[in-house]
Amino acid sequence: MSYPLKRGSIVYKRLVAGGLAVILSGCALFSDGYSVKTQKEEQESDYSSVYAEVIEFDGFKNKEYESELNMAVREDVEEAIKSFDALALEAKESLPKGVKSALSITQKVKRNTTDIISFITEVYTYTGGAHGTTLWIPVTVNVTSENPHNLKLSELFSDKDYISKLNAVIAKMVEENPEKYGELWAKPEITSENENRFYMTDTELVIFFPPYELSYYAKGFIEFAIPYERIAPILKDRYKTTK
């Protein structure tokens, strides 16, 4: 199936001891998009705490893909929890008294229109040290296409030179916003290795870089929100407007 949270995005090791307790379910309705339900779950043990969100879409015309996507989201969250439990168990003896390992999985819908859904799974893991580690796993799908799948950045553009042109836009944004980007210690550049770190909103393509890659940990993820009209000449027609 065409879904991006591949096994290996988080290290999976062993089954979790005990089950999850469902604490809340919510449903968000989008006037121009699809229904999104969020199930929130938590687990507590003597050595760890877990908070996890699982989103579920409803309303796709392609019901087969809708089912596959929803199942993949849930399975990947469950696998992440299993992996974390193994790490937390290993870290139990090394943590100070009263300190537990922690896992938080949140899912944030960035765009939900009739053609595009885009969301971020944020995975925060703490098993000791000065601070934890945060990963963003992006998913962007054209759900009305004949073959819905997690889009690559290259699929959004008609211009083969899109990477250099996007990098030029990002460089200009750094120049235009010294207060926001003045503390970067490296030049932000899209490469073939990191080009799929992006998500879409109704009005912008957002390129992101993880903590430590461009600046210190406390700065968090560095984002470059590029309005579609700014890159319209190189975008494919279907991605120039919001539907």
Task: Residues 21-142: name the CATH superfamily.
Answer: Fervidobacterium nodosum Rt17-B1 like (3.30.565.40)
* Residue 80 pLDDT > 80: yes
The residue ranges of every structural domain in the chain are 21-142, 153-239
Buried b (16+ CB within 10 A) or exposed e, 190-229: beeebeebbbbbeebbbbbbbbeebbeeeeebbbbebebe
pLDDT above 80 for 22: no
Q: Confidence class of residue 28 from pLDDT cuts 50, 70 and 90?
A: low
99-140 confidence digits (pLDDT tens): 999 999 999 999 999 999 999 999 999 999 888 999 999 999
d(CA 200, CA 196): 12
What pTM was computed for the model?
Answer: 0.86
Could you give the CA distance from residue 90 to residue 94 in angstroms, rounded to a whole number? Answer: 8
Q: Give the per-residue pLDDT at 21.
A: 52
Residues 131-166 as b or e (16 or more Cβ within 10 Å = b)? eeebebbbbbbbbeeeebbbbebeebbeeeebbeeb
pLDDT exceeds 80 at position 19? no
Which residues are CB-contacts of 89 (< 8 A; sequence separation ≥ 6)?
47, 48
| Gyration radius from the chain CA atoms | 19
Position 12 pLDDT exceeds 50: no
Amino acid type, 20? L
Asked whether the beta carbons of 21 and 36 are under 8 A apart, the reply is no
Are 21-142 and 153-239 equal in CATH topology?
no
Question: Is 90 exceeded by the pLDDT of residue 4?
Answer: no
Looking at residue 193, its pLDDT comes to: 80
Name the nearest CA neighbour of 199 among 113, 110, 121, 127: 110
Residues 6+ apart with CB under 8 A from 19: 43
Predicted pLDDT of residue 219: 83
Q: What is the pLDDT of residue 183?
A: 85
Q: Does residue 21 or residue 70 have the better pLDDT?
A: 70
Distance from C-alpha of 115 to C-alpha of 113, rounded to nearest angstrom:
5
- The per-residue pLDDT of the chain, averaged, comes to 86
How far is residue 5's CA from residue 120's CA, in Å, rounded to a whole number? 11
Q: Is pLDDT above 80 for 242?
A: no
Contact yes or no for 81/13 (Cβ under 8 A):
no
Q: 189: number of CA atoms within 13 Å, CB side?
A: 7
Q: What is the CATH number of domain 153-239?
A: 3.90.640.20
pLDDT tens across 227-239, in order? Answer: 999 999 999 998 9
- pLDDT of 32 reads 63
Confidence of residue 18 (pLDDT cuts 50, 70, 90): very low
pLDDT of residue 27: 61
Count CB-CB contacts under 10 A for residue 9: 15
CB distance 27 to 34 below 8 Å: no
Q: What is the mean pLDDT of residues 88-92?
A: 94
pLDDT at position 79 = 95
